[in-house]
């Protein structure tokens, strides 16, 4: 499906179902209009080497150490109950993995009892029970001050990019409290959704939200704890990867390692869609750039050009983006 046309008609053709997102639409308030630079690209339909219906019974997950498919013992399927009652083991490393608090721990440090790993402040912040509780109760809503159009609109935008990957497996990395994971699962557009985060408390909060909604409680949705730099999937196995408001939270310079991991697990034609805060935009004045550089010096915010370079340097192509104030949604494809 074509997701972008020439720059002259980029805004209207990128989201044909949502004319209100057109940059020149008179119905869109000035404060909500997008500005962007978009290349002419076409995302071809995913040609999966495996059955698009996904059996979800065998080698769905891989060892985060050696990436060998894990042997599973327990019920089949990707539902929360099936994953919780299953045990996983790597035939090569002989390491076992199991569920805890309704999420499957597939980190390298899984099972270690006397090990405390302290990540950078931006990562540790979201491991806090307090922040996890507040994330959908006021924290995320404040993003609209920076130009984020809101979860419902962001979901619609992402779905347009993911059209060629529908019917396959979607991984929502750095899923937080599962705000978008639940939307993807509830859409029924994917044969399976994996909500993945490093924060134990975010995953617990995600489960609390899921169990309140019977429509997704038994859907093909799994909760997995994992490091975005060591994703527990075989190379070329995943159809789509989503990272909502996440890139700026990943440890720098591990941004490159994380995007490289995403590129590794995507199959040919697979799509990566992400949103994040920008340090400044192409329209920001020189004085504005200097001020923002000083104010945001402790934040891991990138520019439009840096995000594009990051994706292309990791082997992704057909990069395209939409920008509004300090918000950017970008998409790239595995060739």
Q: Please report the pLDDT score of residue 128 as a whole number.
A: 77
* DSSP code, position 103: E
Report the DSSP beta bridge partners of residue 221: 193
Block mean pLDDT (10 aa), the chain, length 335: 37 36 36 38 43 52 96 91 93 92 91 67 67 85 93 97 96 96 97 96 95 90 95 97 92 80 97 93 68 65 92 97 95 97
Phi, psi of 44 (to 5 degrees): -80, 150
Please tell me the predicted confidence (pLDDT) of residue 56.
Answer: 45
pLDDT at position 133 is 83
∠ CA 309-240-185, rounded to 5°? 135
Q: For the segment 62-73, what is each residue's pLDDT rounded down to a tens digit?
A: 999 999 999 999
At 280 the pLDDT is: 73
Q: What is the pLDDT of residue 137?
A: 87
Answer whether 256's CB lies under 8 Å from 313's CB: yes
Distance of alpha carbon 316 from alpha carbon 313, whole angstroms: 7
Q: How many CA atoms lie within 13 A of 218 on its CB side?
A: 2
Inter-residue contact 181 to 172 (CB < 8 Å): yes
Rounded to two decimals, the pTM is 0.79
Residue 267, judged by CB atoms within 10 A of its CB (0-12, 13-18, 19+), counts as: buried
What's the confidence (pLDDT) of residue 93?
Answer: 93
């Amino acid at each position: 499906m074509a997701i972008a046309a020439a720059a002259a008609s980029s805004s209207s053709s990128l989201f044909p179902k949502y004319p209100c997102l057109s940059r020149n639409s008179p119905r869109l308030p000035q404060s909500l209009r997008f500005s962007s630079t978009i290349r002419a690209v076409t995302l071809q339909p995913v040609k999966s080497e495996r059955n698009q219906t996904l059996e979800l019974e065998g080698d769905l997950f891989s060892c985060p150490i050696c990436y060998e498919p894990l042997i599973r013992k327990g019920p089949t399927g990707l539902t929360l109950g099936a994953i919780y009652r299953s045990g996983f083991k790597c035939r090569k490393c002989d390491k076992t993995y199991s569920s805890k608090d309704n999420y499957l721990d597939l980190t390298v440090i899984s099972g270690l009892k006397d090990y405390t790993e302290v990540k950078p402040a931006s990562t540790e912040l979201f491991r806090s029970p307090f922040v996890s509780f507040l994330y959908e109760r006021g924290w995320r809503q404040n993003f609209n001050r920076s130009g984020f159009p809101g979860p419902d609109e962001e979901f619609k935008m992402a779905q347009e990019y993911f059209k060629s990957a529908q019917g396959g497996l979607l991984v929502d990395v750095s899923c937080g409290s599962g705000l978008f994971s639940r939307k993807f699962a509830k859409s029924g557009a994917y044969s399976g959704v994996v909500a993945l985060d490093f924060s134990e408390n975010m995953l617990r909060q995600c489960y609390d939200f899921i169990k309140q909604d019977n429509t997704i409680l038994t859907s093909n949705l799994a909760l997995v704890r994992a490091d975005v730099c060591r994703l527990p999937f075989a190379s070329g196995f995943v159809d789509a990867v989503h990272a909502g408001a996440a890139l700026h939270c990943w440890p720098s310079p591990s941004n490159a390692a994380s995007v490289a991991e995403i590129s590794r697990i995507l199959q040919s034609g697979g799509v990566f869609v992400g949103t994040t805060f920008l340090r400044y935009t192409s329209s920001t004045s020189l004085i504005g750039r200097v001020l923002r550089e000083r104010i945001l010096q402790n934040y891991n915010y990138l520019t439009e050009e840096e995000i594009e370079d990051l994706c292309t340097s990791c082997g992704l192509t057909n990069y395209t983006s939409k920008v509004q104030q300090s918000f950017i949604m970008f998409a790239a494809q595995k060739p």
